[in-house]
Chain A
Amino acid sequence: MKASVFDALADPVRRSLLEQLRADGPASLGALADGRPISRQGVTKHLDVLAAAGLVIVTRRGRERIHEVDPEPLRQLADFLAPYAAAWDDRLGRLTRHLEENP
């Protein structure tokens, strides 16, 4: 359970499902499986992994399961990446100045 967020994010299909939920908001299994080259059962398995990792929250609406992103783990992920991102801001700033001084 502890490391499951890494397993969850290591898979490109699950990253894509998470991206779709982040971009489009809460969605049913049908909406998430639509247009994907894998079966609904396959998508369900991936969604279960995302839910077990705490990245996706599942609620029932009638017979449908609605999936939505839990933003908190992703916010923590963004915090983890922040120093690496800041380093690129710094480097690209220096690249810009280097080119200005050496056109």
Chain B
Amino acid sequence: MNDITTHVPLDAIERTVELPHPVERVWRAISDPAEIGRWFPNESATLDVRPGGTGELVWVIEGKEFRTEVHVHEVDEPRRFVWSWGHESSNTDDPVTTVEFTLKPTDAGGTTLRVRESGFLTEKHRAGNHEGWGEELAELVAYLGDRP
């Protein structure tokens, strides 16, 4: 994907993609659960698109079902959409992170879509739970523990 640019600011991931479609169309694709289910999870998506609303994304991978609960934080149609996932009821080991979509119209009538996912290191740490972060993080902790 040579039209996706990358930036990794410490504990966040950022991706920006240029789309030829107007912001209203892109907004629908990222917020309407019927559309989300076409490109995001491979099984199903439900989402109550308003602040405080919840939803669920479901994947089936090699016959096993993975669910993650989504909590909606901000809805500013068609510019900004913020939610978090990985909450307690989810059956994945992923940390609770916040996903922020930002849409900007381009001069050509298209959309610059930025996705930022953040909070990988802080949330579960603050809850005093270091488990479930995966081997990579365990290795990082071991590496830092070895340092003089």
Contacts and interface: CB of A to CB of B under 8 A. Distances in A.
Interface of A: 1-7, 9-10, 15, 18-19, 53-54, 72-74, 76-81, 83-85, 88-89, 91-99, 102-103
Chain B interface residue number, banded? 35 or more
B53 interface: no
Contacts of A19: 9-10
8 contacts: A9-B10, A9-B122, A10-B125, A19-B9, A77-B10, A89-B4, A96-B17, A103-B21
Contacts of B125: 3, 6-7, 10
Contacts of A92: 1, 4, 15, 17, 113, 115
Is chain A's binding surface mostly helix, strand, loop or mixed?
Answer: helix
B140 A81 contact: no
Interface stretch (B34-42, B43-51, B71-79): B34-42
Tell me whether chain B's interface is mostly helix, strand or loop, or mixed. mixed
A79 B15 CA distance: 17
B134 interface: yes
Nearest to A101: B38
B139 interface: yes
A32 B57 CA distance: 43
Interface string B111-148: 00101010011100110001001101101110111010
Contact of A10 (B121, B141, B144): B121
Most chain B C-beta atoms within 10 Å of own C-beta, residue among A77, A78, A96: A96
Contacts of B140: 5, 73, 76-77, 80
A88 B97 CA distance: 13
Contacts of B10: 9, 15, 18-19, 74, 77
A77 B140 CA distance: 7
B11 A77 contact: yes
A3 B82 CA distance: 29
A4 B144 contact: yes
A98 B29 contact: yes
Given A1-B145, A94-B40, 17 more contacts: A1-B144, A5-B141, A9-B11, A15-B10, A18-B10, A53-B144, A73-B140, A74-B10, A76-B136, A85-B8, A91-B39, A92-B4, A92-B115, A95-B17, A95-B29, A99-B21, A102-B38
